[in-house]
Every structure is written in structure tokens, then in C-alpha cells.
Homo-oligomer: A and B are copies of this chain.
Amino acid sequence: MAIEAGKTGERTAKIRLGMVGGGQGAFIGGVHRMAARIDDHFDLVAGALSSTPEKSLASGRELGLDPARCYGSFEEMAEKEAARPDGIEAVSIVTPNHVHYPAAKAFLERGIHVICDKPLTSNLEDARKLKAVADKSRALFILTHNYTGYPMVRHARELALNGELGEIRIVQMEYPQDWLAEPIEQTGQKQAAWRTDPKQSGAGGSTGDIGTHAYNLGCFVSGLELDELAADVHTFVAGRKLDDNAHVMLRFKGGAKGMLWCSQVATGHENGLKLRVYGSRGGIEWTQADPNYLWFTRLGEPKQLITRAGAGAGASAARVTRIPSGHPEGYLEAFATIYSEAAAAITAARSGTAVDPAVVYPTIDDGVKGVAFVEACIASSKQNGAWVKV
């Protein structure tokens, strides 16, 4: 991977990037910007950063944007940037969920590549419509399921896909947090407010915000496709409008089974995303908070602790690794890998060449599956946990 832009030969021109959302007070916008900078493939040159022209301008000034390219809405930005000879080639969409569909549509229809936060949309209907738009567009669509960018996640996937685990039997996913253990959305906490608001988030609370991450990760690593699920979705905090805990049983195509637990009220957990996959010949365990380690056990042999860039880590991990083993890479580097994979694909598209087959990123299909997962959880729970096909 060209972790650093143009690491070999003449440097490729950086990709001109815009951003929708991510203004003052936002969280994930800043993450996207740092991620885009780490490997130096992008230049942020335009933004519709906030919901009003004034706020958008103020946020843009802080970031050193040309005031003329600080827009009051994504529609204006899409139109004007598409008309500029030096207009943006790609846009990052980092708004609450309900804006993803119209914003992504506006850019895709103008041939501007979209890098979009998850979940794809706030409902399955939008997700499918957006997929139709993307399928017709010449522009690429990259979904930032950022955990797939961790080197040890790549290595886990390599082990699974290469058959090192044997036939996969069990996939255990969990993503517990505790930041919503109390009704902080009622106190004006902005992140909590929109995430617990069905109008902005859609039908799922914890299921949409973090359950989709765990689900995506389980499928990404195992290579399995979900067949059906049975869910017990619940809201523990009084007055909350969306779920804050979900227990889900899973049946994958081909016979594997699994469980997924996501919670925003599990006291003691910060971002406790964990994946475990067990096959007939081996098992693996990975924890997001300690991402440079992968536990791997071959049946009948001692457990191995494989480290990023250490002995035993394979080519797929090495490809997305920046620094030597023992010097931890973190969340921002994994996120940067999504951006660098996107850059590789966009650069190839720019020149009409084929993208390196090693390039991997979550697609709009993964996005549709994520929204389908959320709606299946809600549907199953409404039927008292009946099995629902996805």
C-alpha cells in the first residue's frame, strides 16, 4: 500500500476532497480529517461543514479553507464544486445518518467519489435507493467501517479466508459501551442527542451505531454471509427513544452460528468491540482496544499472540502497516487505511487503470447489509425474537 503518498517514484497529485458535516462540535469529522492527512493522499479544499452558511464558514476558516468554498449546504457544494475545473474529486460525508442518502446521491450523480460514514442510511429504503444511484454512477462509494482497516483485522481475515481456521463454526461479536448508561441525551450532549433521535438515526440506536460495526467486522473477517437472526432489542434508560442494548443470535449461510451483543449501557466498557471466530482447525480473538494483537490458536497447539508487523503477521497486515512492531498503531491509523484504500481506488479511477486487487474497503453493498441488519433486529424483536431472514 502506498501508505505515504507516492512512496515510490514521482508523487501523484493529491486528491481534492470536500466534507459534508464535521463542523464545530462534531466528533467524527475531525477523525476523518486526521485520517485523511496521515498518509497524505488528500487535500481538504471545500466543505459544507455545518447546517447554516455562517457556521459552515466559521468552521471552514478554522480549517484554513478558502471562504469561497465554504458552502451553506451540500446541494450548493455539489453543484458549485462540480462546475469548477479544480472542483473536489471526492467528498467525505460525516453527518448524522439521515443526511447520508441525499448528500451521497447529490455527489454520486455528479461523478464525485463518496467516502461516507456508517450506517449507510437511516432506513433500508434509502439504502437500496442509494445503491441504485451508486450502481449507475461512475464514481466510487467507500463506507468507513473503519475497524476493517486495522492490520490485525486484515490478518484475521487472511487466516479465515485461507482456511487456517478450518470450517468456521462460531462467530462471536460484541460491542459494549457505557457512555449512554444515563440519559445524557436529555442534557444537551450533542453526540448523544442525534444518536438517540429516530429522525436522525433511523430505527436503530445501539444496533445502528455500533451493532452494525460489530456485524460488519464479523462478516469481513469470517467471509460468511448472514442468513437469519433472532434479536432481543431493548431500551434500558427510561425516556430513551431508541434501543441501547441488543442481544442477537445469528445463523450464517453454510451452517455457522453466532451471537452479537451491542450495548451502550454496559458499565465499564469504553469501546469494547471484540471479535472471536472459531473453526474446526483454529480460533482467533481480536479486541479493538488492544488492536495490535491477535490471538490465534491452532487446535491442539499453544496459543499464539501475533503482533502487527511481528513474526507470524502475513502480507495483508504488512500492506497496511506503517511502523515497526511494538510501536502501537491506533484507531486513527486504521481509519487512515480506509482513506488510503479509497485513495488507491480513486487514483486508479482517475487514470483509468485497474486498482490493485489487494485494495479492500467496505462498499455500498456492505452498507445495505448493515441497514438490513438493523431493520431485521428491530423486526425480530417486535415479533418476540422470531428468526428473520436478512
Contacts and interface: CB of A to CB of B under 8 A. Distances in A.
A209 interface: no
Interface in A161-188: 165, 169-170, 172, 176-178, 181-182
A312 interface: yes
A279 B165 CA distance: 32
Interface in A43-99: 61-64
Contact of A295 (B268, B285, B292): B268
A318 interface: no
A176 B257 CA distance: 14
Given A34-B322, A328-B328, A234 B249 contact: no
Interface stretch (A119-127, A214-222, A296-304, A361-369): A296-304
The main secondary structure of chain A at its interface with chain B is loop
Interface string A280-308: 11111100111110011111111111110
A123 to B, nearest CB: 26
A302 B297 contact: no
A331 interface: yes
Given A7-B62, A178-B299, A278 B263 contact: yes
A115 interface: no
A281 B266 CA distance: 10
Contact of A265 (B232, B263, B278): B278
A229 to B, nearest CB: 10
A37 B340 CA distance: 15
A4 B27 contact: no
Contacts of A224: none
Contacts of A301: 311-312
A257 B271 contact: no
A259 B9 CA distance: 47
15 contacts: A4-B30, A4-B63, A11-B61, A34-B322, A37-B38, A182-B299, A230-B232, A236-B280, A265-B278, A269-B283, A271-B326, A302-B305, A302-B306, A305-B305, A330-B332
Instruction: Please name the 7 residue pairs, one residue from A and one from B, whose CB atoms are nearest each other, closest first.
Output: A270-B326, A271-B326, A268-B297, A330-B330, A267-B283, A302-B312, A268-B283
Given A5-B63, A234-B257, A267-B281, 17 more contacts: A11-B64, A14-B64, A34-B39, A34-B322, A165-B267, A178-B278, A178-B283, A178-B297, A245-B257, A247-B249, A267-B279, A267-B280, A267-B282, A270-B325, A300-B311, A327-B330, A385-B385
